[in-house]
Amino acid sequence: MAQIKIFVASIVLVLFAEGIASAQVSDSTINVVDRAMADELARSKTDLHMPGLVDPFFIAYTVADQEKLELAASNGSLTKSDATHERKESVRLLLHNYQFNDENFTDNTGFFNFNSAPDNTLPLDDDYMGIRRVLWLSTDNLFKEANDNFTKKKAALEHKELSPELRDLPDFSKAPAIHITAPPITFKYDRPALETMVKDLSALFTGRREIQTSSVSLTFYNSYEWIQNTEGTRVRKPATLCEIHIEAATQADSDGQPLVLSHTFVAKMPSQLPSEVELKSAIEELSGNLIALRSAPLFDKEYTGPVLFEDDAATDYLSENVVSRLFAEREDIFGNDVSAIFASGKRSSLKDRLDTRILPVTASLHDISLEKTKNGVDLLGYYPFDDEGVEPPQDLTLVDKGILKTLYMTRTPTKEVLTPNGHARSLAGGLPGLTETAPAPGVVEYNDTKAVAFSAMEKDLIKRAKEDGYDYGFVVRSIEVGAPPQDAGFSIQDMLANGKKIIPTLIYKVYSDGHEELVRGAEIGIPSIRDLREMIASKETVTRNMLISAGSGGLFSYSPSVPGTIIGPKDILSPELDVQKKQAEAYPTPPVVARP
C-alpha cells in the first residue's frame, strides 16, 4: 500500500511540477508597467482639467497580467483546451472631494447605453508608451463620464429629501498610502499531461451507464497585479487560483427529476490541488451518490426539527447563512425609479443586527486574512492588500460572545460602518482584479467554547428528533451553493429564490438504529436569527479553502464569489429547522432511446 502511494505521489509531481513555466512576469515587465502607470497617473493628476468640468481628486489604476489555462473533458475526450494571456487595465476616477463625489448613484438613462468605454487591453510587450496610451484614453473617457454622472447626481438630489444620516455620509474614505512589492508566482505544469489527467478522470464516468452527462474541468489563473492611486499607493502583487470541477447529471427513475451533483476543488497553487488518486475517489463517490439518488424516495412528510450538517455542508451552511451576510454596502441614490429592479433577488445582509446577538453566546467569528498558513494548510483566503489597496487588520473581530461587532467594508462608507477594513474584493468567479469590488471575507475563523464531540452530536440529533415526534432526524452532507449547475434547469424562480431556501443535494433520514435513507426533493427553510443563536458546533474542526459568496450580488450578477478559507466546525447541528417538500414540477421524461 505504501509503495503505491509513493508511486502516485510522483505522478502528481510530474503533472504539476515539471514542464513549462507560466506567466512569470519579469522584473523588467514589473518595472515598465509600474513606470508607465506612475507617469500617466502623474500627468492626469496635474493636467486633467477643463473649464466647466469638475476636477478629479482621486484616480486609481489597476493593471493585471493574466494567464489562464482552461481544460475540460467529457467521457474521456477533450471539449476545451484553451490557454490565454492578456493584460488589462481598469481606472477609477472620482470628482470633487471625499465628502461628495460622482459615485453611489444609479441612473437608468445609461442602462442601455452601448457607447462603451475604450478597449482596456494593454500590449503584452513591455511597451511603455503603448501602456500609457491605453490608460490615457480610459482616464479621459472616465473623466467625462464621471462629470456626466456628477451633474445627474446633483440634479437628482435637488428633488430628493435624504435622511440626515445619509446626507452627511461621506462618499469615499481616505486610506493611507501603501508601498509593497510581492514577487510573481511561477506555475509549472505540463499541459499535455494535464489534458491526459482531465480526460482520464472524465472517462471514469463513462462506465456508469446510469449517468447521462458528466464533465471534468480544470482552470488555472495566474495573475500579477499593479495598483496605483493618486494618494501614493503603489502595490505589486501576484494573485493565483486553481480549480478542478467535477459534475455529473442524470434523472430520477420514477419521475424524471433532473439530478445534478458537482464538486469544486480550489487551491492557490497547482501543487496544492488534490492528487489524481484523490480526484478519482471523489469521482467514484460522486457517481455512487448520484446513482443512489436516482432511486431514492421522494421526501414525503413536512418536518420541523433538528438537522445535522456534516463536512462541506457544515462549512457551506456557515458561509451562506452567516459569513457571506456580514457586509455593509452603500445604498445608491437613484436617479430614476430603478430601485425595484436592483433590489430584487439580492442576498440579505445582517447589517441591521449590528451590536446584537446573532450567534450562540459562546461563539466568536474572526477574520484573519493576513494569515498565510494555518493548521498546515496554505490559506486561499490570504491576501496582503485588498483590491482597493487597503491592508486588512491582523484580526477583524466580526462576532464576539455571539454579538455582531462589525461588518466587511470597502472604502465606500455606509450608515453602519464608516471606515474601510481592507475587505474590498474583486468579483469574477475568483478571477482576480479588474472587475467591480464588493465587501467580502478572506480567512474566517469560527470558535465556540461549548463545542461538542461529533459522536455526542449524532446522539443529540436522534434525541431531539424523538422529542419532536419523529423516529428519524435529518443529516445533510451536501448543499447547493451559488448558481445552480448547468443541467439543473435554471429558472427565474430559482434566481429570485436565491438565499431564501437551502437546497440540500444529499440529505438522509437517520433512524435511531443508525440506518440511513437517502431522500430527494427536499428543501430547508432559511435559518432565522433564533436558529443561528442555537447553532451547535462540533469540536472537530476543518480548514477549508473554498469560493465564498460575496456582497449582495443582484439580479444580473448571480452569486459572485471570492477565494476564501473557513476554519470552523466540521459539523453543525441546528436544533429546529423546517424541511419541506420541494414544489412539484413537471420533469422531462427520461431518454427514450437507450444509452449507446
Partner 1 sequence: MLLGCLLAAIPGIVLAQESAPPAQRGRAQTASNDIVLQTMHAELAREQNALASQSVPPYYMSYNVGDEQTVSMSASYGALTNSDSSRRRMLLVDVRVGTYKLDNTHELRGSNDMFAQNGAQAIPYEDDAESLRLALWRATNESYNSATERLQQVRTNETIKVAEDDTAGDFSKADASNHYYQPDIEMSNYFRNRKEWEDRLQRYSALFAGQKDIFEAKAMLDASIVRKYFVSTEGGEIASNQVYTRIMIMATAKADDGMELPLYKSYFAYKPEDLPSDDSIMRDVRQMIATLQEMRNAPVVSPYAGPAILSGGPAGVFFHEIFGHRVEAHREKSADEGQTFKKMVGKLVLPTWMDVYDDPTLTHWDGTDLMGHYKYDDEGVLGQRVTVVRNGILENFLMGRSPMEGFPHSNGHGRAQPGKLPEARQSNLVVIAHKTVPVDSLRSMLIAECKAQGKPYGLWFKEVEGGFTLTGRTIPNAFDVLPILVYRIFADGEPDQLVRGVDLIGTPLATFERIVAAGDDGQAFNGMCGAESGWVPVSASSPSLLIREIEVQKKQKSQDRLPILPAPDAITITQQKYKTLGAD
Residue 173 or 213 having the CB closest to partner 1 = 213
Residue 26 makes contact with partner 1 by CB under 8 A: no
Residue 287 makes contact with partner 1 by CB under 8 A: no
Residue 494 makes contact with partner 1 by CB under 8 A: no
The CB density around residue 298, as the number of other CB atoms within 10 Å, is 15
Among 141, 173, 362, 447, binds partner 1 (CB under 8 A): 141
Residues in contact with partner 1, total (CB under 8 A)? 55
Q: Please state the closest distance from residue 62 (CB atom) to partner 1, in A.
A: 17
Q: What one-character DSSP code corresponds to residue 51?
A: T
DSSP state string for 506-552: EEEEEETTS-EEEEBSEEEEPPPHHHHHT-EEBS-EEEEEEEEE-S-
Residue 170 or 258 having the CB closest to partner 1 = 258
Contact in structure between 395 and 330 (CB atoms under 8 Å): no
Handedness of CA 490, 492, 495, 501 (dihedral sign): negative
Residue 73 makes contact with partner 1 by CB under 8 A: yes
Q: Which range of residues in 263-271, 330-338, 572-580, 587-595 is near partner 1 by CB under 8 A?
A: 587-595
Residue 29 makes contact with partner 1 by CB under 8 A: no
Q: Please state the closest distance from residue 15 (CB atom) to partner 1, in A.
A: 20
DSSP state string for 91-154: EEEEES-SSS-S-SEE-GGGTT----PPP-EEPSS--HHHHHHHHHHHHHHHHHHHHHHHHHHH
Q: Please state the closest distance from residue 95 (CB atom) to partner 1, in A.
A: 14
**Residues 118-137: x where in contact with partner 1 by CB under 8 A, - otherwise, as a string:** xx-xxxxx-x-xx-xx--xx
Burial of 467 (0-12, 13-18, 19+ CB in 10 A): exposed
Residue 514 or 596 having the CB closest to partner 1 = 596
Q: Please state the closest distance from residue 338 (CB atom) to partner 1, in A.
A: 23
Q: Please state the closest distance from residue 200 (CB atom) to partner 1, in A.
A: 12
List beta partners, residue 220.
Answer: 69, 242
Contact in structure between 204 and 287 (CB atoms under 8 Å): yes
Q: Which range of residues in 36-44, 392-400, 418-426, 567-575 is near partner 1 by CB under 8 A?
A: 36-44
Handedness of CA 415, 417, 422, 425 (dihedral sign): negative
Among 31, 77, 373, 394, binds partner 1 (CB under 8 A): 77
The SS3 assignment for 181 reads: strand
Q: Give the whole-angstrom CA distance, residue 315 versus residue 307.
A: 14
Residue 117 makes contact with partner 1 by CB under 8 A: no
Burial profile 508-533: b = 16 or more Cβ within 10 angstroms, e = fewer: bbbeeeeeeebbbbbbbeebeeebbe
Q: Which range of residues in 79-87, 106-114, 167-175, 301-309 is near partner 1 by CB under 8 A?
A: 79-87
Q: Where in 48-67 is the site for partner 1 (CB under 8 A)?
A: 48-50
**Residues 207-246: x where in contact with partner 1 by CB under 8 A, - otherwise, as a string:** -----xx---------------------------------
Residue 140 makes contact with partner 1 by CB under 8 A: yes
Q: Which range of residues in 84-92, 258-266, 280-288, 336-344 is near partner 1 by CB under 8 A?
A: 84-92
Q: Which range of residues in 138-146, 332-340, 375-383, 564-572 is near partner 1 by CB under 8 A?
A: 138-146
Q: Give the whole-angstrom CA distance, residue 172 versus residue 97.
A: 8
Residue 131 or 293 having the CB closest to partner 1 = 131
Q: Which range of residues in 175-183, 470-478, 566-574, 584-592 is near partner 1 by CB under 8 A?
A: 584-592
Q: Which of 204, 185, 184, 188 is nearest to 12 (CA)?
A: 188
Contact in structure between 504 and 529 (CB atoms under 8 Å): no
Residue 77 or 528 having the CB closest to partner 1 = 77
Phi-psi region of 136 (alpha: psi -120 to 50; beta: other; left: phi over 0): alpha
The CB density around residue 565, as the number of other CB atoms within 10 Å, is 27
**Binding site residues, partner 1, CB under 8 A:** 39-40, 42-44, 46-50, 73-87, 115, 118-119, 121-125, 127, 129-130, 132-133, 136-137, 140-141, 143-144, 206, 212-213, 588-589, 591-596
